[in-house]
Chains A and B, each alone.
Chain A
Amino acid sequence: MDSAPLLSVLNEDLLIRILSFISHDPDRKAFRLVCKTFLRVDSFHRTHLRILRPEFINTLLSKFPRIYSLDLSACPQIDDGAVAMLVGNGLLPDWCRRLKRLVLSRSTGLKSAGLEMLIRSCPLLEAIDVSYCWSFGDREAAALSFGGSLRDVKMDRCLGLTDVGLAKIAIGCQCLEKLCLKWCIEITDLGIDLLSKKCRELKELDISYLKVTSMSLRSVSSMEKLEHLAMVGCGIVDDEGLHYLGKGCPSLQALDVSRCDRLSSSALAFLINGHPSMLQIYANHCFHEFPTKVVQGLKDLKNLKTLILDGAPVSESLFKIINFNCKYLIEIGLGKCKGVTDKGIFQLVSGGVNLNILNLTCCSELTDDAISAIADSCRSVLCLKLECCNSVTEKSLYLLGLHCSFLEELDLTDCFGVNDKGLYYLSKCTKLVCLKLGLCANITDKGLYYVARNCSEIRELDLYRCKGIGDDGLYAVSNGCKRLQKLNLSYCSEITDRGIECLGHLPELSDLEMRSLLNVTGTGLTALATRCKRLAELDLKDCANIDDSGFMALAYCSRNLQQINLSHCSISDVGLCMVMGNLTRLQDAKLVNLYNVSTNGFEVALRASCVRLKKVKLIASMRLQLTPDIVQTLRARGCRIRWD
């Protein structure tokens, strides 16, 4: 007989601590349902909420009194009307006064009036994310500028934003510490200059893909507190810009100059000279040559943790210098680099280094010897990318299984040398979370069985075009990998309904790609839809033998579906209408080449879903066949139509 019931032993502090160790969503949900005390502890201490339907916002927020972070990006139909209902009725709800962080990413229905109402109602708001609200422009920026406490603003892909809007934000939000303007292509040097003058607290800035010149970098170099600068794809910036950076930005720690076509590696050397304590350098596909002078310059980077040089030509001397001087390096990117040889890898990892992440994509000269050196030296390696390393065989996998028990992520896409024996050895890496075996023609169900049996932590599995995988392999996976969330089975043509039915035993499956599985029919899809309740993304392109019975099941059961690709499927008018109409969370649909659907069928289906659809792909000829009314309605609701 227990001396004291558990609940009297576990006081609230202890329960909160136990709860803090439970991060997995289904476990937290189970926790809440155990008893009222557990529910109260969770509700009372929860600080973040991601809401799926707008009608629940107020009730939920009143039940969780400590929420200060709110994510509405998954909520369809957030528009000015919805905001007015939430905050516009005179009495401001309590949660507004507490809210510090708000995510409105992809809320394309929201306009400046609604945004302003929200900003004005939440005086403590520090962080806001309006990324991918592609129609946002200067009016919305003006609304944001009312947020005097804002520190973190994400405006990726707000395509309408110009210097005028940026100026408003710069003047209104002088406490800004993090700002992301990625893809806001109307911004010019003028906007960046004003930003640098007004927002003196800025620590992180992302100006990737903007059409700014080196003059912007001159302005940026005056930012005393700037630590992180991302300028991916700034194709107009040249070496002069990096010279300015080299002389300024005293706090700079991380720089991303990937795909800046006009930069030369010599300018990089100048930058390093001014900032020897840099921690992270990202230079993907940026440098076409690496003269000795620059390589020598890397000697000074004693604190470097991350070095990404994808696409650059490298040499043994480079590896030697890195190995000798950059003792704190944990991540290195050498994808598609010319000149990565076994010898170079020996140099890089000799003496035992602490590398956690190695990207060796397309370093096809590497053989088992290189992997052997890595497995031996970098025992705590977490992520290894070996896509297209064709000379890697089961010998390497044996060594990885033997030495690298912490391995979480492994990419063996298109590695011809991977076979069932290799997978048997690899299964000793029981902590694997993400495994990519796309285009591995030599693996069969047998090999997959070993992985499924031992690697129970796998969340992501890619079997794209693995012709040797069939129903038995899926049976093994569905028994062994219960945490699987993302699965790619496209073009594994041996798979039939039986295999797809097995997937019903994967309780967390949310993202499934199964293109061109011609042996799968409505029976298989029905079994999948009725059991995989968490399915959010589904790609059925070219599954020509699935009939309406499957799509009906999808329409009734897959209530969490957000994204679907039905291109080239044999769905009918009725089927399409049911799918588009019934699935109230569907926001993204690809409906190209649906030969069994009439124009009227499309009209009805689009009308049924126009209120929440954010992205739809249709065949180009539809443009003339659909009524202008439906196209306008979709556009007015903020939906993006892509004509194929």
Chain B
Amino acid sequence: MASSSKTEQKKMLILKSSEEEEFEIEESIAVQSGTIKNMVEDDFTLIPLPNVDTETLIKIIKYMKKHGEKTKSNEKDIEEFDKEFVKKSFTELKELVLAANYLHITSLIDLLCQAFADRIKNKSVKAIREIFGIPNDFTPEEEAEVYEQHKWAHEEGKEHIDHSAY
């Protein structure tokens, strides 16, 4: 765990999950996480992640490795990877988004939020509640009021989009 090396060897970091398991990873890939990047700047090489369990950490490392190799030619390849990556159970996605948020991996957060959004699309309100396990905390009167507002009061216009950039 030398902090700098005279040879061409890439600098490695060790990430430790909440269950005390250790994973080696190249620094250049790990710094996709803003949190890890900060710790590296403070000269840490062993990075404890008490909020991330082993299973989730393995998936996140897999994501970072794939995205660390991003070049112009393998864009489609990465797209396919991302598509497969979010084909997970709801519980797994929850754990992942918690971890991604903690680790500040912007692209992963966006990917996961998009996945959640996709699961909301084209579903009824009841279906969304069921899928996400969210209880309905509206009273019938409150719910009716919101519903009425939808129908008569207003509708979504196109959000004001700035077309000045080509």
Which residues in A have their C-beta under 8 angstroms from that of B136?
A: 34-35
Q: In this assembly, does B116 line the interface, its C-beta being within 8 Å of a C-beta of chain A?
A: yes
A14, B102: Cα distance in complex, Å:
12
Known: A27-B122, A30-B125, A36-B138. A6 touches B166 (CB 8 A): no
A69 CB contacts on chain B under 8 angstroms: 160
Instruction: Check A52 against B153 for contact (C-beta < 8 Å).
Output: yes
Q: Let me know if B133 and A2 touch, CB within 8 A.
A: yes
A120 to chain B, nearest CB (A): 23
Which of the 9-residue segments A16-24, A182-190, A311-319, A388-396 touches chain B? A16-24
What residues on B are CB-neighbors of A56 within 8 Å? 149, 152-154
Interface residue? A472 (CB, 8 A):
no
Q: How far is the CB of A13 from chain B (nearest CB, A)?
A: 8
Q: Are A10 and B121 in contact (CB under 8 A)?
A: no
Say whether A60 contacts B128, CB under 8 Å.
Answer: no
Within 8 A of A (CB), among B110-166: 110, 113-114, 116-118, 120-125, 128-129, 132-138, 142-143, 146-147, 149-157, 159-160, 164, 166
Q: Is A629 an interface residue (CB 8 A)?
A: no
Q: Which of B94, B121, B125, B135 interacts with A22 by CB under 8 Å? A: B121
- Verify B160–A52 contact, CB threshold 8 A: no
Q: How far is the CA of A7 from the CA of B116 in the complex (A)?
A: 13
Q: Mark A19-50, 1 if CB is under 8 A from B, else 0.
A: 11111111111111111101100000001111
* Residue in B98, B156, B166 whose beta carbon sits within 8 Å of that of A9 in the complex: B98
**Are the C-beta atoms of B120 and A50 separated by less than 8 Å?**
no
Expressed in whole angstroms, the Cα–Cα distance for A48 and B154 within the complex equals 11
B166 touches which of A19, A26, A29, A305 (Cβ 8 Å): A305
Are B154 and A32 touching (Cβ within 8 A)? no
Label chain B's interface by main secondary structure.
Answer: helix
B 50-64 to A, binary, CB cutoff 8 A, 1 in contact else 0 = 000000000000000
- How many angstroms from the CA of A50 to the CA of B164 in the assembled complex? 23
Q: Is the CB of A31 within 8 A of B128?
A: yes
Q: Assuming A30-B128, A39-B146, is B152 touching A17 (CB within 8 A)?
A: no
A282 to chain B, nearest CB (A): 14
Expressed in whole angstroms, the Cα–Cα distance for A4 and B91 within the complex equals 9
Which residues of B (22-47) have their CB < 8 Å from a CB of A?
none
Query: Is B109's beta carbon under 8 Å from chain A?
Result: yes
Please state if A29 and B97 are interface contacts (CB–CB under 8 Å).
no
Which of A17, A35, A51, A305 is within 8 Å of B129, CB to CB? Answer: A35
- How far, in angstroms, from A38 to B134 measured CA to CA in the complex? 10
Asked whether A197 is an interface residue with its Cβ less than 8 Å from the other chain, the reply is: no
Give min CB distance, B132 to chain A, whole Å.
Answer: 5
| B92 CB, nearest partner CB in chain A, Å | 11
Chain B residues with CB under 8 A of A218: none
Offer 9 A-B interface pairs, CB within 8 angstroms, sorted by A.
A3-B91, A6-B133, A9-B97, A27-B123, A33-B146, A33-B150, A35-B129, A35-B135, A101-B160
A-B CB proximity, top 10 nearest? A50-B157, A21-B117, A56-B153, A25-B156, A17-B113, A33-B125, A18-B113, A71-B157, A18-B116, A51-B154
